[in-house]
Amino acid sequence: METPRNETPSLFAALLTGLLLNTMLADAAGYGARAGLLAAPVSIAVLTAVGLVFAHAWRSSAARLTRGLFAALLVLSSALELLRMWQMAKGLYDGAVTLTAVCVTVLLPVIYLRRVSAIAQTANVLLCLLLAVTGVMVLSVAGRLRVVNLQMPAVTAGVWAEALRAQTMLYPEFLLPALWRQEKRGDHTALRLAGYSVIFGAAAHLLLELFFGAALPQRLSPLHTAAQSGTLSVFNRLEWLQLLLWTMAVSLKLALYLYAVIRLLGGQSKGEDSAVGLDRFPLYLAGMLLLCVVLCGTDMQAALRLRTAGTWVLAGLVTAEGGIRRLWPKKAV
């Protein structure tokens, strides 16, 4: 019997929104435009392979230890997303925004997004809005894009490898599809997530380099700075809309992480659209705020690199465990 579509809403838009948000909130450009374009095909292939292998191994593994490690990674990632949003807002408003205000603003919408259908529906709308606003930003700065700003250094093996390393940062969104059925994650999820996110990042770096030229590596929050400099002044008048959309996207990402954590710690639920219980939210809100307070003095770039390393380690552990269970099913622990 075919499952009704509304009972298995696709979470692909939520996963993609989280990945694109990483590019939008980046503190600095991670690589040159030419190196990024040359490394993109290999990056897509690497991320696709990791997603497919992890999903295949997860079905054979999914032990209690790896579930706990995955849940811990998602909780830490949630705190880092809140801190990154706070640091950006603090830089824009000269420290006038408090950590508590950012946490409450971002976390409260998660109460509405506690059901997977709400996550899926909100993600579809938010993804369209984010892409539309990004398109308006590109139009607003189109008159200041200069081909002469494109940097033409020799793309050595080291430069190419650095671009490849930046593009293959492994985010939890690449691993999350392994937790859900085909109907919920969509077709060819690993390839589409890797392709869209890498291409979006490479295109953003190209546009930013055409705008800033050689000064791009020194620019902080380059996408936001470019948007504020638009000749149409669109984002100077509607800066609140840009920040609102980014805040909503962070809330969506945290809701997706919370839903995944509940499933990891509680096992498979009876209903695919089951909601996270309201009784869990006071503990969740207090725990996230406490974790953010503990980590607020952390070097954000170092913490994000550590998160990426942890994600790669988790992917390696699950792959190794899945392989062992398939080769020696009776001896696997």
Which tens digit of pLDDT belongs to each residue from 235-272? 555 566 777 888 999 999 999 999 899 888 875 554 55
Report pLDDT digits (tens) over 29-42.
778 888 889 999 99
pLDDT at 204 over 80: yes
Please tell me the predicted confidence (pLDDT) of residue 275.
Answer: 61
Amino acid 91 reads G
- The whole-angstrom separation of Cα 17 and Cα 253 is 8
* Angstrom distance (rounded) from CA 212 to CA 204: 12
* Three-state secondary structure call for residue 177: helix
Q: Which of 133, 136, 145 is nearest to 207 (CA)?
A: 145
pLDDT category at 149 given cuts 50, 70, 90 is: confident
At the fourth CATH level, which superfamily is domain 12-319?
Answer: Amino acid/polyamine transporter I (1.20.1740.10)
As to burial, measured by CB atoms within 10 angstroms (0-12 exposed, 13-18 middle, 19+ buried), residue 103 is buried
Please say if the pLDDT value at position 178 is more than 80: yes
Q: Would you state the pLDDT for residue 316?
A: 92
- More confident call, 278 vs 314: 314
Spatial distance between the Cα atoms of 55 and 308, rounded to a whole number of angstroms: 18
Q: Look at the chain and count its residues.
A: 333
Task: Please state, rounded to an integer, the average pLDDT across all residues of the chain.
Answer: 83
Please tell me the predicted confidence (pLDDT) of residue 7: 53
- Token output for 115: 């059901």
Taking only the tens place, the pLDDT of each residue in 106-134 is: 999 998 888 888 999 999 999 999 888 88
- Where is average pLDDT lowest: 54-63, 75-84, 218-227? 218-227
Higher pLDDT among residues 234 and 211, named by residue: 211
Predicted confidence at residue 133, as pLDDT, reads: 83
* Residue 43 pLDDT > 90: yes
Q: How far apart are CA 147 and CA 145, in angstroms?
A: 7
Region 154-170: mean pLDDT is 89
Ranked by mean pLDDT, which of 68-82, 136-150, 234-248, 282-296 comes out on top?
A: 68-82
Give the integer Cα–Cα distance in Å for 190 and 230.
Answer: 35
pLDDT of 309 over the 90 cut: yes
Asked if residue 69 has pLDDT above 50, the reply is yes
- Residue 275 gets which letter from DSSP? B
Q: What is the pTM of this model?
A: 0.88
Mean pLDDT across 65-73 = 92
Place of tokens 């930003």: 137
| Measured distance CA(86)–CA(123) in Å, rounded | 22
CB atoms inside a 10 Å sphere around CB 48: 20
Q: In the beta sheet, which residues pair with residue 275?
A: 115
- pLDDT given for residue 188 in this prediction: 82
Between 288 and 136, whose confidence is greater? 288
Question: Which of 15-29, 102-116, 181-195, 287-301 is predicted least confidently?
Answer: 181-195
Q: For residue 34, what pLDDT is reported? A: 87
Rg (Cα) of the chain, in Å, rounded?
A: 20
Q: Mean pLDDT across the stretch 141-160?
A: 82
